[in-house]
Amino acid sequence: MLRRSLFVSAFMLAGVVGFASNAKAADYPINTTFTAKVNATCSLTNPTTGTLNGTLVPNAGKDTLSTAGGTSAKIGVDCTGGTLKVSVPALTTKPTAFAGTPTNTAKVTTLTQMVNNTDTAGITLVAGDKGDAMVDMTSSLPAGTPFDAGDYTYTVIVTATL
Residue 41 scores a pLDDT above 90: no
**For 119-147, what is each residue's pLDDT tens digit?**
999 999 999 999 999 999 999 999 999 99
- Point out the least confidently predicted range of 18-27, 71-80, 87-96, 110-119: 18-27
By percentage, how much of the chain surpasses pLDDT 90? 67
Average pLDDT over residues 23-37: 75
43-161 is classed in which CATH architecture? Sandwich (2.60)
Average pLDDT over residues 13-37: 65
pLDDT the model gives residue 28: 82
Element (H or E) spanning 92, and its range?
Answer: strand 90-93
From CA 96, how far away is CA 51, in angstroms rounded? 28
**Where residue 6 falls among pLDDT bands split at 50, 70, 90?**
very low
By percentage, how much of the chain surpasses pLDDT 70? 82
Biggest CA–CA distance in the chain, Å, is 133
Domain ranges, ordered by start, for the chain: 43-161
**Where residue 31 falls among pLDDT bands split at 50, 70, 90?**
confident
What pTM was computed for the model?
A: 0.75
